[in-house]
């Protein structure tokens, strides 16, 4: 029986270098990239999401970019089903699928095969409305759904549960053809990489992009709640200056990075390493067509303080 083409998963905090690594590996090994990011799915949101450039997208096929309009409902279940279809398509053509991103819930839904309950409806909304704030928070924790920024607001909590489609079951470990890696970055280096990314966004006029998005879609949609866009809106309204905006973006993105690492640390199957270490280990897998059971790389399988973030 022919070996199944592996699914390579590269996760980690924002600005850790995972996208550049995936691009280099996909070019070398004949792969295609699935973007596991809850913001890059939206059309027109390019600068503020650090979306792969048009040149990068031409050099390697990227999936799950620009698939819905800002304001259009898009759930974890939607992402999962599109990812499954893409992985099947990529494998059918003898290519290697690379699932890459920082949205842990999206990645988990794919590699752990979440089974989702019925989509939100009037009955479900009524059930959620009967729950207290404490019960809604507990539901988030049980379902591994990220809490909204205002976790004491019942409306936000209910909307968050509905958006993420509560799942009824999941696997405890990925399939044997799936390898999950986490990028480890030193704390100071990560802050510097985040700063460089923010400077690049402002140099490429994130403010103008935000203005266009506000004019076309308004503020009342999930897509515009991303860290950068929330801050850029304050700048557009004249509430803060550019320097303050950039510093606020740095603070919020660093906090996001810590949450992303915490999410991944819950899984004992994530193999952690620097960009170079992960590159070496993935190439061992691709060169030898090994399974996780056969794989005997030198990287730590358990996380070790990761990056001290």
Helices H / strands E in the chain, number of each? 12, 8
SS3 141: helix
CA distance 210 to 216: 10
Q: State how beta strands 115-116 and 167-169 pair.
A: antiparallel
Dihedral angle sign, alpha carbons of residues 217, 222, 228, 231: positive
| Interacting residues of 26 by C-beta distance below 8 A, sequence separation 6+ | 32, 33, 60, 96, 98
Alpha-carbon gap, residue 224 to 227, rounded angstroms: 9
Alpha-carbon distance of 133 to 155, in angstroms, equals 9
pLDDT at 14: 95
Name the pTM for this structure.
0.83
**Interatomic CA distance for residues 207 and 190, integer angstroms:** 24
Residue with tokens 């209910």: 158
pLDDT in tens, the chain (309 residues): 346 799 999 999 999 999 999 999 999 999 999 999 999 999 999 999 999 999 999 999 999 999 999 988 888 899 999 999 999 999 999 999 999 999 999 999 999 999 887 665 555 666 677 788 888 888 887 777 778 877 888 888 887 777 776 677 889 999 999 999 999 999 999 999 999 999 999 999 999 999 999 999 888 777 787 889 999 999 999 999 999 999 999 999 999 999 999 999 999 999 999 999 999 999 999 988 655 555 544 444 444 444 444
Query: What's the CA gap between 140 and 216, in Å, rounded?
Result: 32
CB neighbour class for 243 (10 Å; exposed up to 12, middle 13-18, buried from 19): exposed
Contact 250, 194 (CB under 8 A): yes
Q: What is the pLDDT of residue 126?
A: 63
The domain limits of the chain are 7-117+168-185+261-288, 118-164
CB 74 within 8 A of CB 105: no
Sign of CA dihedral 187, 191, 194, 200: negative
CATH code, residues 7-117+168-185+261-288: 3.40.50.300
* pLDDT (0 to 100) of residue 168: 73
Closest-CA residue to 12 (of 264, 298, 280): 264
DSSP state of 99: E
Name, in order, each residue with C-beta under 8 angstroms of 278's C-beta and a sequence gap of 6 or more: 10, 21, 181, 183, 271, 299
Task: Provide the pLDDT for residue 293.
Answer: 57
The confidence score (pLDDT) of residue 56 equals 96
| Phi, psi torsion values for 44, nearest 5 degrees | 80, -5
Res 285: pLDDT: 93
């Amino acid at each position: 029986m022919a070996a199944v083409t592996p699914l390579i998963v590269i996760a980690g905090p924002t600005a850790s270098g995972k996208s550049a690594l995936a691009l280099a590996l996909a070019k070398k090994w004949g792969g295609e990239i699935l973007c596991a990011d809850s913001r890059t799915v939206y059309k027109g949101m390019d600068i503020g999401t650090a979306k792969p450039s048009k040149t990068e997208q031409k050099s390697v096929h990227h999936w799950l970019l620009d698939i819905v309009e800002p304001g259009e409902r898009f759930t974890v279940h939607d992402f999962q089903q599109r990812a499954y279809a893409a992985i099947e398509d990529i494998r059918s053509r003898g290519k290697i699928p690379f699932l890459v991103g920082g949205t842990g819930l999206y990645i988990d839904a794919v590699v752990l095969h979440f089974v989702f309950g019925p989509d939100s409806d009037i009955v479900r909304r009524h059930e959620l409305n009967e729950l207290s704030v404490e019960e809604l928070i507990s539901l988030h924790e049980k379902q591994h759904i990220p809490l909204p920024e205002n976790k004491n607001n019942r409306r936000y909590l209910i909307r968050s549960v509905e958006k993420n489609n509560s799942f009824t079951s999941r696997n405890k470990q990925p399939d044997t053809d799936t390898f999950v890696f986490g990028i480890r970055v030193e704390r100071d280096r990560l802050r510097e990489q985040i700063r460089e990314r923010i400077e690049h966004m402002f140099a490429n006029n994130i403010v103008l992009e935000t203005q266009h998005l506000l004019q076309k879609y308004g503020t009342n949609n999930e897509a515009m709640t991303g860290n950068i866009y929330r801050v850029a809106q304050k700048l557009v309204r004249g509430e803060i200056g550019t320097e303050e905006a950039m510093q606020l973006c740095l603070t919020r993105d660093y906090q996001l990075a810590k949450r992303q690492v915490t999410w991944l640390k819950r899984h004992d199957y994530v193999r952690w390493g620097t960009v170079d270490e992960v590159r070496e280990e993935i190439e061992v897998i691709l060169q030898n067509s090994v399974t996780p059971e056969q794989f005997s790389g030198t990287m730590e399988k358990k996380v070790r303080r990761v990056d001290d973030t």
